[in-house]
Structure 1
C-alpha cells in the first residue's frame, strides 16, 4: 500500500517557494533601479514614471523601450567581458541625452 501524501507539507513547501521567489523578484527590481541610476529619483518620481510606463498602450513605444533595455543589458555584459572578447569595431553607445525616455526623439 502506498504512503498517503502529506498535502499540508506540500502546500507549506509551495508557499515557502513562492515567498522566496517574491523576495528574489523584489531584490532584482531594486538592483535594476540602482543599476539604471533611477535610485537618484524620489519615490514619487519613480512611481509616476512607472505608472506612465505601465499605462502605455503604444506598441511602438514599448518596442523602443524594450530595444533600449536590451542594449542596456548587452552593454553591461560587454563591460564585464575581458577586453579580448569585446568588439573593437562597434560604435560607442549613444548618450542618454540623444533619446527621450519615451523612445521618441521629439518632445512628448
Structure 2
C-alpha cells in the first residue's frame, strides 16, 4: 500500500515540484500546473497523463489504474488506487505525469 508520505516523497523528488491544496485534496505541481492530486478519503491519486500513457498504464490492471470516468478521463486524467498499486508501477506513472506537465 502506498501512503501519503510515500506519495509525497516521490512527487517532491522531482525538480520544481510544490505541494499545494486543491479544493479538499492535496496537489503536487510543477510550473504551477497540477500533475497529481491525492484524495485521502479514498486513498487514491489522480495523475495527468498523455492518452497513450493512460492506455499503457491501464494495461497493468484496469481495476488499479484507469481513466477518470467522465470527460476528464478523455484529457488523460487517470485514477490510481494506492491500496493496491505496486511502488515500481507508481514510480513510472508519477514520472510520466511529471514529464507530461513539466514540458
Could you state the TM-score of these two structures normalised by the residue count of structure 2? 0.26
Ranked by relative contact order (alpha carbons within 8 Å, sequence separation 6 or more), the top structure is 2
Higher strand share: 2
Bigger Cα Rg: 1
